[in-house]
Amino acid sequence: MTNTKIGKITHYFDKIGVGVLVLTDGKVKMGDTIQIGEEGTGFTQPIDSMQVEHQQVITAKIGDEVGLKVTQPAKEGDLVYLVK
C-alpha cells in the first residue's frame, strides 16, 4: 500500500464524531480509504459520509473543506493520507 498526503484535519467535533479535512494536496471520493494521523499512531477508514458546506457530496477537490464522519477521534493538525 502507498499513502499519498491529501490534507489535514483542522477541527474535530467529538460529540458528533466529525472531522474537518482541508484538502491541500489531492482529491477524494466516497469509498476511498484514508489514513488519519501517522502510521502506527493514526487509523485507517473508508469514507462513507462526506459533506462540503453542509451538502452531501460524492467527490471533493483541492481547496475544499470537507466534513467527514470518522470512526475514531482525530486531532487538529493530523495529516490525512489517501491509501492506495
Cα torsion angle, 45, 36, 34, 18, sign: positive
Q: Given this model, what pLDDT does residue 30 score?
A: 97
Domain boundaries, the chain: 3-83
- Where does the pLDDT of residue 38 fall: very low under 50, low under 70, confident under 90, or very high at 90 and above? confident
Q: Given this model, what pLDDT does residue 34 score?
A: 97
Architecture of domain 3-83: Beta Barrel (2.40)
pTM given for the model = 0.93
Q: Given this model, what pLDDT does residue 1 score?
A: 63
Give the alpha-carbon dihedral of 79, 60, 53, 51, to 10 degrees. Answer: -80
Q: Is the pLDDT of residue 82 over 70?
A: yes
**How many CB atoms lie under 10 A from the CB of residue 29?**
13
